[in-house]
Amino acid sequence: MKSLPRTFTAQESFDSSVVNRRTLLGAALGVGGTALLAACGSQGQGVASSPSASSSATSSSAVPSPSASASAAASGIPSPTGAASSAAPSSTASASASASASASGSATLALAQPSVESQPDSLRCLVNKMRPFAQLDWEPSDLVEFYGHQLRAEAAKTADTMIDAAATDGVTLLVSSAYRSYAVQQQTYQYWVSVNGQQVADQLSARPGYSEHQTGLAIDFASPEGCRLEECYRDTLAGQWLAKNAPRYGYILRFPDGRQSVTGYRFEPWHYRYVGVQIAQEYVASGAKTFEEFIGTGAAPDYASAS
């Protein structure tokens, strides 16, 4: 995989009470089985109460500190073969889930149901605040090097094609972050807790074992235009190109605007998740606004263990 330059100038703030996220991220960036329960992430109550889950976590978009990056690089992560996708959900189930969740954007924790997918390496694996990995420190067996980061082989191959296609259109897609291990997520989450406190950290981050980045199928993109990890990324050439074309390459926008009550995260126009071309096409055709609605699990606005 070829390397791309990674220089950024944009800034981002969460609100007036939160430490400047962009500055902290700039300082933090480096160059960068056990039997499974129902769903690649379990329902959450039992797992969330474990000491490691309740005391630490990972950023949905935040990147590990230099020490975290170094420990990840030294950990020796396995490498690659592609992963096959599972059968896609029925159109009836998808439409029903979409209509239900759309009708109640403020859906509560009680609506969440076990995922229809039971394997964490499936392209349909759903991980969110109510569905951590059943094996919290699970890691993919087919990781490959990807623009200074790591990604699962199939996702990397397709993303590379997508990046080349964007370049042909005169658009540069930079990679800010991709796979993160459970150990790196622990350090990342603790960092944000130490800076902003747990309540704010939980709005900016995912606890370790609850992060989509741990699937090895998620990418945080960036752009030479700036707006890295900011909502204004939507307005960059890169952000606009991805919004229009990413599903053609099997990638979907994971945390859409105005859907925090379902996904648990604020709008992240830079965060894309690989689900495969077939599933991505079905997702778009279904009209679902979030992956939760498409899979039919209900909303996950907060951690099951939270009051």
Q: For residue 36, what is the DSSP state?
A: P
Secondary-structure percent of the chain, ordered helix, strand, coil, rounded to 5: 40, 10, 50
Angle ∠(57,63,67) on CA atoms, nearest 5: 85
225 vs 103: CA distance, rounded Å: 37
Helix axes 153-168, 237-245, angle to 10 degrees: 120
Separation between Cα atoms, residue 267 and residue 105, nearest integer Å:
14
d(CA 120, CA 135): 9
Q: Which of 12, 212, 230, 268 is catalytic?
A: 268
Q: Give catalytic status of residue 12 as yes or no.
A: no
DSSP state of 289: S
In contact, 207 and 58? CB cutoff 8 Å: yes
**Residue in 210, 228, 240 with CA at minimum distance from that of residue 306:** 210
Active site residues: 268
